[in-house]
Structure formats: structure tokens, C-alpha cells
Chain A
Amino acid sequence: MIVLGRIDRRLLQNVDWPLLGAMGGLVILSATTLASLHIGRAGGNVAFRQLAWFAVGLCALVVVASIDYRRLVRLGPLFFLLGLIGLASVFVMGRSVSGARRWILIGPMSVQPSEVFKICFVLMATWVLTSRWAQPVGKMTLALTAPVLVVPALLIVKQPDLGTALLLFPVLTALLVGAGIRLRLLGGAALAGVSALPLVWFLAMKEYQRERILVFLDPFRDPLGSAYNVIQAKIAIGSGQLLGKGVAGATQSRLAFLPERHTDFIFAVFAETWGFVGCLVLLTCYALLLLRGFDIAATSREPVGRLIALGVTALFATQVLVNVGMVTGLLPVVGVPLPLMSYGGTSMLVSLIGLGLLLSVRMRQFQ
């Protein structure tokens, strides 16, 4: 590894081991859960592929961590542009899975550009917020960030992948807060955005699109669709009780009552198998990971590092909270994966790149 060879020894002393430990723990939990599902013709196939992707992602993590994150942020606009092209390419050469065009084929792999875009978005938003046009942070900053949010959000909604599009909002909000925007200004902008929604609703959207959103807000409008998932997920989680049913006893999951059980609803499988105690372990891993992320952001002594760490952490936090909230019935059903747990190569790769960025910031914090 030439890149590694150049690394200052001091950098290695600052590797955030608790963060990596939490990551390792989660990936092990993910692989064992997937292995218990027997999806595909060969049992364990999915778990194996998940681990293979983890290996690929680990390489990416090391590469990203060894590069100075400031160099990556400087290339933010380029990544952003590539990300947008990726999003747009879905419409040209996209593969359609159950009505949504979210994947493109690159060689033998199918890649989900909206996943990759999440990281591009964080880089771009950081670049904009730390650029000299955005200083001092105020109305001008908001105006500059608006297109960074709106253009990709529209492209992603078109796919349609409402979940990913909605993720961008809290991430950007966290970044603005971290950049020191006055909270009153941010509240005003949010209010303006909310008040523009009826316009979009009545003028820009077709009837079936509105219907889709209504179903999203109230799954019981569509009795054959997502409400069913939620009920089955609740049964799975609840029946896990305090200690779980163990791999052999997890009938809800094994008998495939749960839809999307290896991707968006994997938490329900885990909860059924390992019970409340298992869930505490899993959530502790996430809490550790997220709090380390916030810690890296808080202790970083320069704005670029602080924002990049905050953006990545906010991305993780939103995905974890929205996914687990949805599976446990606290939030409406949105297609958001559980990072590091859900099956999906692109998601795994992107999560590890994000962790690589966090590490990169941590390692250079005392320079």
C-alpha cells in the first residue's frame, strides 16, 4: 500500500478504535443475522456476499482515511457532479425493481447511485458551507445551499426513492447548525419551505404521485401494501420478548412472513432472534458509533473537518433512527436501509467510506 507508506506515524496513533470496534460488532451481527435467513438457493449466500462487500469497503475505508479529507472536500463539486450524473443515469440505463428505478449496472454489479450520492452530498455541502462566498454564515449561505439540496432531491424523488430524498434534509440541517447559522434564520427557512409544500402538492404533482405520498404518510390507505409489513414486523419484534427465540425459533423471519427481511426490515429479524437484550447490544453499538462521530466533530479544531464529521454522523444517525423507528412502528414506512446491517453492497461500501472520512478527521485532529 503506497498510500499507507506515506502516512505519518502520528496519524496511526490517533485511529479511533472504539469507532472501528462498533463497526466490527455491527458487521458481525449483520452477517450472522443474514446467515440465519437462508435466502437464495444456497443458504448463507447473502451473508457471504455481505462480508465480501465489507472486505471491499474496508479497503475503501483505509484509502479514504489515509487521504487528507480537505483534499476530498476540495473536490466536492466534482463528486457532486458525478453523483448527479449517476442519479440521472438511472433514468437512461436504470434497472427497475418493483416499480422503482434505483439501480444501474456497472459490469456485473448493480449499483444504487442514490446511496453513493449520500456521501457526495456531504462533501459538496461541506465545500459550499466552508467556501468564502458562504462567509459570514447567514442568508447568503442558505441561498447557496438551496440548489445543492433541491436538484438532487428532485432527481431522487423521481426514481422514486422518497426515503433517500428525505434523508438529505436533516443532514443539511445538521451541517447548517454546525456551521453556526443563527437558529432563527434556519427556523424561518424551514417555515418557508413547509409553506411552499402546498404549492408543489397542487401544482406540480400528478394524482397518482399524491396518492403515493398519502400512502407513505398513512400506510393503512393501501391495505395490501406497507401496513402489512408494519404489522408483521411488530409481531416479529414483539414475539422476540426479552431474550429472543434464537436462530431456530425465529419463525416470523424464517417462514418469510416478513417482507424485505434481509434489507430494510432486518432489524425485525434481529429483534425476533435475539430479543430485547440483543437489541440493547445492537443499539449500544450504534450509540457508540454515533457518539464517537459527534465527538470527532466537536473536537475537530477546524471547520472543514468538523462539518465533514458532523455530516457523516448526521447521515448515520438519521438512517438508524428512521429505519429502526419505521420497523418498530414509530415512523411511517420509508425505504431507508439500516447502515452496516441491511444487505446491500452499495450501502455497505458507502457506510465504510463515511467511516473512513470520520477516521481521517480524527487522525488529523492534532496536526
Chain B
Amino acid sequence: MNSWNTPGYRGGLPGRRDPVQKRIVAMSIAVSAALLVIVCQLWYLQVLEGGRFQEASDKNRIRIRPIAAPRGILFDRNGLPLVDNRPAFTLSLIPRELERDPDKRDATLGRLAVLLQIPFQELVDAVAKVSSDSFLPVRIRRGLSIADMQKVEEWKLELPGVIVEVEPQRVYPNSRFAAHLLGYVREASDEQLKQGRYRRGDMVGQTGLERLLDEFLRGKDGGERIEVDAMGRPVRLVQSTEPNPGAQVVTTVNRRVQEVAEKLMEGKTGAVVVMDPRNGDVLAMVSTPAFEIDRFTGAIDRDAWLRVMKDPDFPLLNRTIQSQYPPGSVFKMVLTAAGLQEGTLTPADRVHCQGEFPFGGRVFRDWKKEGHGSVDLMGAVAQSCDIFFYGAGLKVGAPAMTKYAAAFGFGIATGIELGTERFGLIPAPKSPRKGKPPVWHPGETVNMSIGQGQLLATPMQIARFMSAIANGGVLWKPRLVQRIERPERGVVWSDAGTVNGHVELNPAVWAFLRQSMWAVVNTTNGTGIAARIPGLDIAGKTGTAQTIANSKSEKGQDHAWFASFAPVRDPEVVIVVLVERGGHGGSVAAPIARAIYNAIFFEKVASLDISG
């Protein structure tokens, strides 16, 4: 440290030092002083306190126990919890505390395997995955039964490095409650660990809102630093940090409506969307069959997983936004709007329907074999007369139809932030040959008029379309989350709703659309009569979408639609029901919607009679 006086320094520098040289000397003195401080610290640590540290090193038995932070709770719009936490036992291994000798370690693991009937290989693999120096617990089984927990405690002395932790775990009102909406929570996968945001064993939202809001819902884990004696018994708590629970989320969902809708869809394959047309709030979102969310969360239940993966009905699919269907006769409302606004249709147009529509060397048929007789536009909507709309479609034309479909949000993402959303499809004109300008095939236009052919939409898109009719043309981005609150900081995020589309129509056209949909439900030969509730003016449209592969098969192979809103004068609720391969929209989907309206407007929770 006294190289200062080496001959090189002064010898190389005859004469006076310039100011910068003085500065460099000052810097070297500062660095020397800093080194001296370090030497003092070393003197303190090694000489003055050395004995104490020697002791600490002799029995270096400081253990770390993480304390998992409870995930934030999701509430419905009325403050009822959609999901909650309860303490659960987790079996963990602490690599650092396992026996260092491989044979002794395997003996411990073998004992544990026999005790709790866990495959031995699983334990070995879990230990092999992490560094043997790690103090962080490796989670083996979550949701341990009390009996198993007691077994481990009894054998504690024979099982060094094995512990039972208490961790908060998700609980749901019932096994499949809002499974697609909430999503399941799982230990971070290897893929997610690579991103570096998570530690091994962290619980991470994998789908639905749990995934979307994971950053908010996950709290900050706390921890304890414990000194233990040679036997591994805790002697002293050195330091402890409380866990910080995650943020609370207030959703737009109405738990009661969600439950009612789920109950009604039990045993059926399909989707229900309940929306507030005034602001795009999603009140309920049901997709069936649902997966057992409680078995998917936390402990990895191999059986439940395999069953779901093998299920031909794809329970993991959120049918409200990830499945697209031909909209069927629901699309007639787009055609009606287009025709009236463009002037190609008038309410006075009248057709005599005999059940057949010969066109282009082909006969297009009505869903009702014998036909509807003489119908005007209002009657055609109410009775869903296909023959009327085949002709109307040709009059209005495919370009106008697709233009209005796009305006009403067909073929475009609704913007809901919940996993990958499908966009649906509006057909485009095709070139007959390469290089020729694209043209519409008239047969396709006829098909499109009743919502068949290539046209596809998700139930969420249909709900948004219905909301636009109900509220006079505003397309809301479906809203799921109202606000996020942290206990100590109040609201940290909120969403006032976003409009992401607008449809301009003549007020008379809006009035006609609503009135004709009212007629669907409230006139004697309307197709949606099954949804009628005396005392509530429901407007709706039925749809029976033929699946392409089964266009000629019997009833029961068609998708049943019912898209509706109420009350018709000042709409508060939009309900869209889709039952896959359910049959007629009027007889299958409409009664489900009716029961949901009943529950919303008349509080008749107990009587869920959907027979009529």
C-alpha cells in the first residue's frame, strides 16, 4: 500500500504537478482510504468478532421458511366472493436439510414414499431438479389430508429435510364454478420459470382472470429465518417478514346469475353470456362442459387432467369466446337492419311462403316444411321465415349484408381480455378464376341471409351485437373487471368501460328491430314464445344453426341459439344462450334464457323451472 514512494512516481515527473495531477493523487488517496475502511471492517469481523462468527459457523443452523402470501380475492359486483383462500397443508422437501449421503437420503425418501404412498421416483425427480444447496422448499404435494400431515409429524425425526407447510389455497363455491372465467392456479411451469419472474414453487394463474391479473393477485411472500439446534429443532426466530396479500379484484360478474346460468346449462354443451347493454359489463359467462377447477388448482390431479384432456367436448375451451358457430337466424336481424337502412327492404314487403325457394337450379327450404303463408317483414322476423329472408338477402345483396355485419362487430375481436379470443368470420367474395376480380356467388348470398354458410360468430360477439340493438348502436368492449384494490393503497387500477365501435341507423330502424324482436317472444306464433314472461317485455331472436357436416340430419344435431334483451323499452340485460347440437333455438335455448330473466327480474332463485 506504500507504493506511493516507489521511485517511478517522482522520478518520472520532474518539476511541479499540474492541477489534474493533483486531482489524480486525490483520487488515489480516496481509494486508499476506502481500502483502509475495508481493512477496518475485516479487523472488526475477523479479529474482534471472530470468535462469535466461529461459533456461528460451527453450528451453522440458520433455516429459512418461506411464508406464502395469500392470493388476492375476486369479488362479484355485489361484494360476494367468487373465489376465496383457505389454509392447506403442503408436503415439502428442503434440499439443504436432506442427508448429504445419497444412500441415507434415498432411505429418507423411501420412508416418505411408503408412508404417504407417493411414487419413490417422483420424490427423487423433484430433488434432482434443484440445487442440493437450496434452502427453498420443493413442493411435493399440496392439499395434504390431516391424517397424512399427522403421519409426517409423527415420523419427523426419521425424516430429516421433510416438512409440512401451511399455505393458503384457492377454494371455490362449487367444483366447476365459473371455471373458464376465473381460470386455474398452478405451480409455475418450467417454461414460466425461464422468464425469470417466478421462483420454483410459486403459484401462478394459468388461465382466465387468474392469469390476466396474476401480477395483481399474487402477493409478496414473507419469510422466517430460524436458528435450529443440532437436532433441527427451532431455537430462536432470528427474523421474520410478514407476507403481503395480493390485491382484491372487483369483477362485473353477478355471482347469483352466474350460478343460475350454470345450473341451467348442466348436462348441456354450450355457452351463456349475460351482459349489461348499458356499459358492456359481463354479468355471467358460462361455458359447458366446464372442468373441475378445484381439482386443477394447486395439487396436480393427474386423473382429472387426463379426463379433461381426453374429453371429446374439450372442457378447457371457453365457448363464449373461443368457439365460433354459424349464427343461424339470429343473423336475420343484421339483414333486416341493412335492408331497412339502405332502403332495399320496407316493413310493408310481403311474401307468400310455401316452404320452398327455388333458386339457381336448387331448392332452398324453410325450416317449417309447410311454410308460413303470407308474411310481412315483422311477421318474417317473428316466425323466422327463411323463404322471406332468402329473397330479402338477394334484394339487399351480399356487400351491404357484410358491411352491416362488420359494423355490428362480426368478424372482429370484441376486445375482451381473457385468453385467446376467436374473431368469427364474415365471408368475402371469391375470384372464380385466378386473376379475375372477386364476385359473390348468389347461392352463398342466399345461405348467408339466414346466417348459414361460412358465416361464424362467438357467443360473446352475438351478445355485443344484441347490446348494440338494445342501446342504439354502441358496441362496448366487454368489461370483466371494475377495479383492483390494495388494502393499504386503495384503488390501484380501474376500468370505466371502453366503447370500441358504433353503428349509425335511422331511429325508426332501431325501433323496428326492437319491436320485431319483441314480437318473436310475445306473439302467439313467434318462435321465441318459450321465453315469454308475463310482466316483462323480452325481445329476442331464435336461431337454429345447421352444422355443415350434418345439414341433412335430424333435429338435435343443430346448434340452438337464443339472443335477447329486456326490458324492451329500457334494456338492462342481454342474454345470449347457445346449446351445441341442442335442436331448435326456440324450444331449447329460449327456456334457458327465460329462467335466467326470471332469476334476475323476479328473484325466483328457487324455482328454476325451464319446462315452459
Contact = CB atoms under 8 A, between A and B. Distances in A.
A224 B66 contact: yes
Interface in A324-367: 324-325, 328-330, 365-366
B605 interface: no
B42 A223 contact: no
A255 B96 CA distance: 10
A297 B24 contact: yes
Contacts of A96: 194, 196
A295 B133 CA distance: 44
A271 B13 CA distance: 38
Given A242-B47, A295-B9, A252 B57 contact: yes
Contact of B57 (A100, A251, A314): A251
Contacts of B221: 224
B56 A239 contact: yes
B28 A290 contact: yes
22 contacts: A179-B20, A180-B20, A223-B66, A228-B135, A238-B50, A238-B56, A239-B58, A241-B51, A242-B46, A251-B57, A257-B60, A276-B42, A276-B47, A283-B35, A294-B25, A295-B8, A298-B9, A299-B9, A299-B13, A321-B31, A325-B34, A328-B41
Contacts of B45: 234, 237-238, 328-329
Contact of A241 (B21, B46, B58, B197): B46
Given A177-B23, A223-B223, A328-B41, A256 B133 contact: yes
Contacts of B278: none
B46 A276 contact: yes
Interface in A268-291: 271, 275-276, 279-280, 283-284, 286-288, 290-291
B41 A291 contact: no
Nearest to B49: A238
Contacts of A329: 41, 45
A337 to B, nearest CB: 17
A292 B3 contact: yes
Contacts of A324: 38
Contacts of B37: 330
Contacts of A211: 220
A28 interface: no
B197 A321 contact: no
A314 B30 CA distance: 11
Given A224-B64, A238-B46, A298 B25 contact: yes
Given A288-B1, A298-B21, A239 B53 contact: yes
B24 to A, nearest CB: 4
Given A235-B57, A279-B42, A294 B20 contact: no
A178 interface: yes
Interface residues of B, number: 61
A271 B37 CA distance: 16
Contacts of B46: 237-238, 240-242, 271, 275-276, 279
A330 B38 contact: yes
B267 interface: no
A228 B60 contact: no
Given A271-B42, A287-B32, A235 B225 contact: no
B19 interface: yes
Contacts of B222: 223
A166 B133 CA distance: 30
Given A223-B222, A299-B13, 11 more contacts: A18-B8, A179-B20, A237-B42, A238-B52, A276-B46, A279-B46, A284-B1, A287-B35, A298-B24, A321-B38, A365-B12
Interface string A285-311: 011101110110111000000100010
Interface residues of A, number: 67
B136 interface: yes
A177 B34 CA distance: 18
Interface in A195-211: 207-208, 211
A279 B41 CA distance: 11
Nearest to A241: B50
Nearest to B18: A180
B84 interface: no
Contacts of A280: 39
B551 interface: no
B506 interface: no
A241 B47 contact: yes
A209 to B, nearest CB: 11
A234 B53 CA distance: 8
B420 interface: no
A241 B9 CA distance: 36
Nearest to A238: B53
A174 interface: yes
A291 B19 contact: no
Contact of A242 (B20, B50, B58, B64): B50
